[in-house]
């Protein structure tokens, strides 16, 4: 799997990266530890060298699993993690509450004060068992703190060699413009899928023009575009997906009808629906890498298979035509 340079940073990443949110049990109902370890170990054999995690995924659990799994071969992986979402104290902007692994409800705040970001970096380095982070990102903009403040922390961490590249997540064009006046950003990690394409209007053109990489997360729309989420799908306890707009029954039915229309294309290419969807995402303008979650080795193998699937212009037009008929109610 050929690597891609992320923005102007010089950091090279695999075009398909492992999203470790499910490993941490982040709003997905948990994951088996052994399966999680095997999934990370399988990545290298399949050319996936980049892993994206965050402290809040399982309240540190995901980072610990990633750190344990890469021990002894740290230099073969690129580890992405994040800062700016705290569950200790009440500083910042309240985001929501989530149960921890012991069943206790924890309040989560968006907070990115300079000293807090520096402290979070040290905590992540400890959990990951490493002395540097390849890509360090602000998880969400904090409306209570000037955007320039966490960027100043990033500049210091870059100078200290504790991070190799600075990035953000879920930033708008206006926020990116303010942030890049302080520090060079390698990337912006944003949600993007066949059924969630709002970034194409302003964000993608800005990132292309300013050589800022785009990491697309949730390309399978939290599993919906795999074709496996039917109206009677048995969601696990703690899984928040049924509460989100794309999973409403009317939208679920329409999306499955769209998937039925493109299934023959996947079959003709000897690919799964997931591989077709991931490949489509990778071939969209401005997208440098796609972050895909996986709970076990089998899912990692399926995700990695998308890297060798190249869609023709005719195939891309066919998919676009079918997408044009898909009218979802996401209000």
The residues annotated with a catalytic role in the active site are 57
Report how far residue 167's alpha carbon sits from residue 190's, in angstroms, rounded to the nearest whole number. Answer: 11
Decide: helix, strand or coil at residue 182: coil
**Residue with the two structure tokens 């953000």:** 168
Residue with tokens 């895909």: 292
Q: Say if residues 48 and 17 touch (Cβ distance below 8 Å).
A: yes
String of DSSP letters for 205-246: HHHHHTT-EEEEE-TTTTTGGGT---TT--PPTT--GGGSGG
Structure tokens at 297: 């080795």
| Range list of H helices, 93-213 | 114-128, 148-160, 173-179, 203-209
Q: b/e for 70-99, b at 16 or more Cβ within 10 A?
A: beeeeeebbbbbbbbbbbeeeebeebeebe
- The gap from C-alpha 11 to its chain's centroid, in whole angstroms, comes to 17
Q: Which of 46, 49, 45, 37 is nearest to 77 (CA)?
A: 49
Rounded CA-CA distance 21/52 in Å is 8
Q: How many CB atoms lie within 10 A of CB 103?
A: 7
């Amino acid at each position: 799997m050929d690597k891609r340079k992320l923005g102007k940073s010089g950091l090279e990443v695999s075009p398909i990266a492992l999203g470790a949110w499910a490993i941490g049990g982040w709003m997905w109902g948990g994951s088996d530890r052994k399966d999680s370890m095997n999934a990370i170990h399988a990545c290298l054999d399949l050319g996936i060298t980049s892993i994206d995690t965050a402290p809040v995924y399982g309240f540190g659990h995901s980072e610990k699993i990633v750190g344990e799994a890469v021990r002894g071969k740290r230099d073969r992986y690129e580890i992405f993690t994040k800062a700016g979402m705290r569950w200790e104290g009440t500083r910042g902007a309240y985001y929501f509450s989530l149960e921890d692994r012991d069943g206790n409800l924890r309040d989560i705040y968006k907070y990115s004060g300079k000293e807090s970001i520096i402290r979070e970096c040290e905590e992540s380095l400890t959990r990951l068992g490493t002395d540097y982070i390849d890509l360090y990102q602000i998880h969400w903009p904090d409306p209570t703190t000037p955007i320039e403040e966490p960027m100043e922390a990033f500049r210091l961490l870059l100078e200290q060699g504790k991070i190799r590249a600075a990035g953000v997540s879920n930033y708008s064009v206006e926020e990116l413009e303010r942030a890049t006046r302080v520090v060079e950003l390698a990337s912006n990690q944003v949600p993007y899928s066949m059924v969630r394409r709002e970034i194409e209007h302003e964000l993608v053109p800005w990132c292309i023009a300013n050589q800022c990489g785009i990491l697309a997360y949730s390309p399978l729309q939290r599993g919906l575009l795999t074709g496996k989420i039917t109206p009677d799908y048995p969601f696990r306890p703690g899984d928040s997906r049924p509460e989100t707009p794309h999973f409403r029954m009317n939208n679920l039915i329409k999306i499955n009808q769209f998937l039925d229309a493109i299934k023959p294309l996947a079959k003709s290419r000897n690919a799964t629906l997931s591989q077709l969807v991931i490949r489509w995402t990778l071939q969209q303008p401005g997208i440098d890498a796609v972050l895909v979650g996986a709970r076990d080795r089998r899912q990692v193998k399926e995700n990695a298979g998308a890297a060798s699937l190249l869609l023709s212009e005719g195939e891309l037009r066919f998919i676009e035509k079918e997408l044009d008929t898909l009218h979802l109610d996401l209000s």
